Amino acid sequence: MTSNEGTANSKSQKIPGKTPLGSSYYGLLGLHPSASPIDIRRSYRELSKLYHPDTTDLPPTVATAKFQQLNNAYATLSNPERRLAYDLKIGYSRMNVIQQPPGFNTPVSQSRAKNFNSAYLDPADRPLSPGEIFALFMMGSTLVGCLMLAIAIGLIRGN
């Protein structure tokens, strides 16, 4: 190993104790190709905080280049179709990694699985955000208010 390779290897590490960054998008994010969409997002957010040109001590040109690489990696790996094409390009196959969960052969779960294209396998797996809870509260209180108004108008005009 030459001295240039040694310095390149020491610069290619994101955080002590983590895997070294390689030439693939997975290596750039410090992940294995079998990583879940949630792991990909978590790693991207952590690294983007470290390498964002506004928050890092690196020179602006280096930080911008690194941040653009992170954005390209995340854009590819967060999209299921693009990730599948990228996996085929780098020669990684998920066929032996992902196993069908027991009871997945039901017609309802198969038809529901076709429609999901998000980081979560099922929308029910995702907790409601505070904004969604507030929106549901507002919709419910609006519905109750409208019903009370309709009943009051009916009673007043009914006399």
Listed residue (23, 18, 58) closest to 39, CA to CA: 18
Any idea what the CATH number is for the domain that residue 35 is in? 1.10.287.110
Per-residue pLDDT for 40 more than 80?
Answer: yes
Residues 35, 93 within the same domain:
yes
pLDDT tens, residue by residue, 128-137: 789 999 999 9
Q: What is the pLDDT of residue 22?
A: 59
Whether 84 and 156 share a structural domain: no
Q: Are residues 67 and 16 in the same domain?
A: yes
Q: Is residue 112 in a domain? A: no
Tell me how far apart the alpha carbons of residues 78 and 89 are, in angstroms, rounded to a whole number: 16
Q: What is the spatial distance between Cα 37 and Cα 125, in angstroms, rounded to a whole number?
A: 13
Q: What integer is the mean pLDDT of 150-155?
A: 94
In terms of pLDDT, which residue wins out, 126 or 85? 85
Classify residue 145: in a domain, yes or no.
Answer: yes
Task: Give the pTM.
Answer: 0.47
Give me the pLDDT at residue 20, please: 35
Please state, as a whole number, how many other Cβ atoms lie within 10 Å of the Cβ of residue 77: 26
The total number of structural domains that make up the chain: 2
138 in a structural domain: yes
What percent of the chain shows pLDDT beyond 70? 64
* Confidence category of residue 7, pLDDT binned at 50, 70, 90: very low
Tell whether 50 is covered by a domain.
yes
Task: Tell me which residue range forms the domain holding 33.
Answer: 8-99
Give a yes or no: residue 148 inside a domain.
Answer: yes
Per the model's pLDDT, the better-predicted residue between 109 and 66 turns out to be 66
